[in-house]
Structure 1
Amino acid sequence: MVRNLPPPEKFDYKHSSISRRLAALTIDAIIFIPVFIAMDMAAQAFGIAAGEYNYYIKMEFRIIATIVSIMLWIAYFALFEGTTGQTIGKMICGIKVVMEDGSPYRMEDAFIRNLLRIIDGLGVGAFFVIRSPKKQRLGDKVTETIVVKK
């Protein structure tokens, strides 16, 4: 992404540790568990209401519930980070997502960054964070963001 912004005055930061990022993600996951449970319960209820409650109908509703849950998970991160740079977990852990160059972090960046969470969730994210001098996962690299101590 090319930005036509003047360079920031001075952008001092300290990269967040992997443990803080993991703690923030864990807190966000704990907050989100009721949503996943509700979606699963709804899938089961719709499956039963559909009549012939068999394995295939059950799986169809579970797949739909899983896709909706993933979309809500991405929306949670994108909305919180796109407006404040922080999810609830990041707020508690004292970390924040910012642009590498200090320019404002935008909602579009937050959406793209968090859409790539799907790939990062396959273990790729941890590999990138460990290998990157800026501790960036794939979503960070693509959107030119970093996670810093607040």
Structure 2
Amino acid sequence: MLPALMGRQFFLILNFMSTQFSFEKEDLLQDLSDLQELRPANMERRFANLVIDQVAAVVCGFLVFIIAAFVFGIFLGLGVSDDAESAFISVAMILMFPGAMLYYIVAEAMFKGQTLGKLITGTRAVRLDGSPVTWKDALFRTLCRIVPFEVFSGFDTVTWHDKWTGTRVVRK
């Protein structure tokens, strides 16, 4: 009789605990997300991102120029005129710009919002809900960087390309 009473008491205690304490997965995840707030990157980190990423973007653009020069150099070896050579140099220099922009798009999309500059400074770009940026977000963030004087929008921790695309740069 004693083991039966102990077994019954065990189930009563277990029932009481299950009604008093919620062990649902959603509650635990909500508690965790409440603790993890997105901390905006400060101006110093954003400026460091800008400098490092501009250097990396120029290097990417220059690599595109070198590849174009190599490909076109094959044609120059076949006796192309000087006018064609001048035209090539102009076209190759124009290709440097999309090559530099490609750096931002690929880096932010493939590395979950991190470019080389953001990796070094411990920041990343995220959507407003905290999720990683998508390819579309990375494309639009990059296109917004083309706007003249966009760099001067950085007097706040949220720049134009952040506002217009619904993204933020935050500390990890």
User: TM over 0.5: same fold?
Assistant: yes
**Would you tell me which structure has more helix in proportion to its own residues?**
2
2:47 aligned with 1:19, yes or no?
Answer: no
Unmatched segments (≥5 aa) in structure 1: 1-7
Aligned residue for 2:170?
148
Letter of the 2:102 counterpart? A
CA-to-aligned-CA distance 1:71-129 (integer Å, 9 cap, x gap): 2222221122123110111101111101123244211111111122211xx3x222222
Aligned length: 135
8 Å CA contact 2:64, 2:99 repeated in 1 = no
Alignment of structure 1 residues 27-42 onto 2, 5 Å? 27-41=52-66
Please give the root-mean-square deviation of Cα atoms over the aligned residues, in Å.
2.8
- Between the aligned residues of both structures, percent identity stands at 30
> Counterpart in 2 of 1:126?
151
Q: Secondary structure at the match of 1:81?
A: helix
Deviates more, 1:77-86 or 1:45-54: 45-54
2:158 and 2:126 map into 1 onto residues whose CA distance is 12
Superposition pairs of residues 1-150 of structure 1, within 5 angstroms? 9-10=33-34, 12-41=37-66, 46=72, 49=76, 51-54=80-83, 58=86, 60-83=87-110, 84-119=112-147, 122=148, 124-130=149-155, 132=156, 135-150=157-172
Instruction: Say whether the 8 Å CA contact 2:61–2:99 is kept in structure 1.
Output: no
What one-letter code is carried by the residue in structure 2 that aligns with 1:90? K
When normalised by structure 2's length, the TM-score is: 0.63
C-alpha displacement at 1:43, in angstroms?
6.1
CA spacing shift, 1:70–1:51, aligned 2, 3 Å: same
Q: Is 1:43–1:62's contact at 8 Å kept on the other side of the alignment? A: no
Q: Comparing both chains, which one has the higher relative contact order based on Cα–Cα distances under 8 Å and sequence gaps of 6 or more? A: 1
> What 5-or-longer segments of structure 2 have no aligned partner?
1-29
Quote the Cα distance in structure 1 between the aligned partners of 2:66 and 2:102: 21
* 1: CA distance, partners of 2:136 / 2:68: 31
Per the alignment, do residues 94 and 17 of structure 1 end up closer, same or farther by CA in structure 2, a change over 3 Å counting?
same
Q: 1-side partners of 2:136 and 2:123: how far apart?
A: 20
Larger radius of gyration: 2
Is this contact kept in 2: 1:113–1:140, CA < 8 A? yes
Q: Secondary structure at the match of 1:118?
A: coil
Contact 1:39–1:66 (CA under 8 A) maintained in structure 2 = no
